[in-house]
Amino acid sequence: MSWQLSALNTGLRLLAKPRLGRTPCPEAAARDLDRHAPLLMRQPAHLLHLQRPGGLHWISAGACAPRQVILYLHGGGYISGNPRTHQGVMGRLSKLSGVEVCAPDYPLAQNLPFPAPFEAASAAWGRLRGLGYAPPQVVLAGDSAGGGLALALLSVLCIRGEAPAGAVVFSPWTDLAMTGESLARNAAADPFLPVGRISELVEIVAGDLPRRDPRLSPLYADFPGCPPVRLCWAGSEILADDGARMAARLRSAGARVEVETHPLAPHAWPVFDGWLPEARATLRRAARFVQDVLCETSR
C-alpha cells in the first residue's frame, strides 16, 4: 500500500465517512459531491469536455481512435454525481485507452425515481446506435452505482442480441436487496462508506420497485451471450460481495471475466486518479482491457 493510499484512507475515515453518515438529504449529498469533486477527482491535462444535444457528454484527453467509444455511467449512489464531477476518471480512461468517452447525464433518484436512470442509460445506447456506432465498437463502463447501471444495461443488450464489445466496472453496486455478507463483515473496515445509511439510500433509489428488479440489481439479471467483463472491487469495502457474486454470476453465464481486487483500497478507488498510484495502475489495466476487447471485435 502506497503512503498516498494510507493517507487517503485516513482522511476518508476521519472526514468523508462521518460526513456521509450525517448528510441530511440527497440534495445535500449532490451539492457536497459537486463542491468536492474538483479537488478529489483530479482531471488529466488537456481534458476536452463537450456537451452535445440529447444530454450526452463527450470526454477525451488526447488523440482517440475513430468509431470507437466507451459509454460510461458515473457513480454517486444514484443521488449525486454527473459527468462533470467524474470527468477526471473518464478523461484518464480515455487518455490511457485512446478511446473517447460518452457519458449521459442521467436523472438522480430525488428528481426522477427508478427506473428513470436505467431508461436514460438505455436511451444513451440508442443515441450511440443512431450516430452509427455498432455494438462491437462500444465498451460499457462505470463506477459504484454507475457500475451497476452499466451491468444492468449489459444484461438487456445481451438479451436483445446486441451485446457491446465488453464492460469494465469499478466497485459496482449490484444488489439493492442488500444480501451481501460484506455489508456486515466490512462495516468497520470500509474507510469510506457508512453501512448505516445503505437501507435509507435503497428506499430513496428503489421506491416501489422490487429490490431484485434486474434493472436495479443486475446480480439477478440474465446475461446470455455475454462479452468479456472486467470487475474491480476492494476486499475491505462493504460492497465487496456485490463484486464477487457478480463475477460468479457472469461466469455461470459463460462470460470471460477478469477480476482485480485490492485488499485495502477505498470504494471506487480509480476515481482518485492523480492522488493514488493504485488508481493509475488500475486504470492502465482497464484501458488495456478496453483496447483488447475492441481489437477482438474488430477482427
What's the pLDDT tens digit per position in 26-39? 999 999 999 999 99
Q: Tell whether the model's pLDDT for residue 54 goes beyond 90.
A: no
Split at pLDDT 50, 70, 90, the class of 53 is confident
Q: Which of 284, 221, 282, 295 is nearest to 255 (CA)?
A: 221
Question: How far apart are the C-alpha atoms of 53 and 58, rounded to whole Å?
Answer: 11
Which of 43-52, 157-166, 173-182 bottoms out in mean pLDDT, i.e. has the lowest?
Answer: 43-52
- What is the average pLDDT across 256-261? 98
pTM tops 0.95: yes
Give the Å distances, CA to CA, from 239 to 46, 179, 192: 34, 10, 11
Q: Catalogue the active-site residues.
A: 144
Question: How far apart are the C-alpha atoms of 117 and 202, rounded to whole Å?
Answer: 14
Split at pLDDT 50, 70, 90, the class of 299 is low
Q: Tell whether the model's pLDDT for residue 229 goes beyond 70.
A: yes
Q: Where are the domains of the chain?
A: 3-298
Return the half-sphere exposure (C-beta side, CA atoms, 13 A cut-off) of residue 73. 36
pLDDT, one tens digit per residue, over 110-168 is 999 899 999 999 999 999 999 999 999 999 999 999 999 999 999 999 999 999 999 99
CB 86 within 8 A of CB 271: yes
Pairing of strands 48-52, 56-60: antiparallel
Domain 3-298 class in CATH? alpha beta
Does residue 52 sit in helix, strand or coil?
strand
- What is the average pLDDT across 16-30? 96
